[in-house]
Structure 1
């Protein structure tokens, strides 16, 4: 009887260990996000602008075919959360609209950004003199700060944490901060 109990406990521990170890890689998690979004990354140009790993799983931000996606994938490869939005771009028709009345210009500016999220990220890297290949834990959020629509950009590089806010309508940097990771 004791032998059966020991075997049952051992089997339970083995099953628990195997389930606990079933974790997908970052690449597998990214492929799960692409699959969920209906994107074949071998046939479609995908711009991966953020990726992060934490205790809960993986976070990805990418653009493809004029759509911006944000995904949260758990360690088992399951899609936990996702967000999808059409990318608004400024175009030459936008510049001709800016020559119309002041009221039309206000409407145009509130509906579109003068700077894309991708360009805002590039501007932040340039502002801090950081190479994209050295960046870790990139986080980008759209928010309103003191009535201004901004991209709130945060990332780590080397032993420092960088953050800045970039005004969506002008592309100007509104605030910037550098902290040591060890503070």
Structure 2
């Protein structure tokens, strides 16, 4: 007698979690077929309804669930975020599945005229399951909250556990969490928006034309807020604006802190201006190298990288726009090309910058599988801890966020360019 051992095809090898507010987990066998559907909340039960997905391919099951979420209004232009989590023993295969599902869902949302923001992750930490059980949330949501708490010491698990996936996505993008992949931008259409928050703060402070430090979404004392920070006349202003109502929740003025840095800047500025008056070229305008020297002396730095300088004509005068990085800061200057006076200057903390703009571009091109010879309209901007790289190739427009320290891809988006 010949004994044949058949594989246990119904053994669970991988778990795929889908979270919006409905939270559903799909248990898969080694053929990526669904062997069990679990719901983590009442909204999850509503979405699954009487659907029998057992035996279906994972793509079929996910498409059916996303379709139901769209039909019931759980995903729309105001709440456009969705979380995909893949858990299993084979990390390499998990990553492939994560990428494929993310692309499939992105196309499905676009077909419904929704510019979705998809947060996706693979999970290998066994301890996160106990944390999820403790707080009665999905493993995927628990992992996201854990990443936010690790990134921002002001957050606690208890304070974030009741937030929606969309609200958590807004915090992920503000805090630049690198352990997850994010495509698209979480919609702020349900909130007053960064521009309105900035206007409210400036009006209350009775300030115009300040040096802006940041305007970003945050969460404090149970409320989604915009943090608005800026400088003006040796004073630093900090505001928290209710992101829904526009109410000013907190405001602070710190003159002592700003005075120290501003007085130094003022002294540097006057010396730079007097020096620049002696540096005018025979054409009546200073050179690029002279403009660079003025800016660097004003900033008090001697070693710079990631330089970008161009000459522009604005409001009847020629000016140099000069950007550079020194240490962990990015500096931006506007310098009068005739007098050498500093028209505007900003200093922004960008973290540890180890890769160049060209390296960031090449990482984006390689990930998008396009040749540098076939791209156009390329723009690279260094922002908080990352490069923003945008370009076009063929009929598509690409947007990337590249970690400025290690070159990893934080998020990416591909759109049809019509």
TM-score by structure 2 length? 0.22
Which structure has the larger Rg over C-alpha atoms?
2
Larger RCO (CA under 8 A, 6+ residues apart): 1
TM-score by structure 1 length? 0.45
Q: Which has the higher strand share?
A: 1
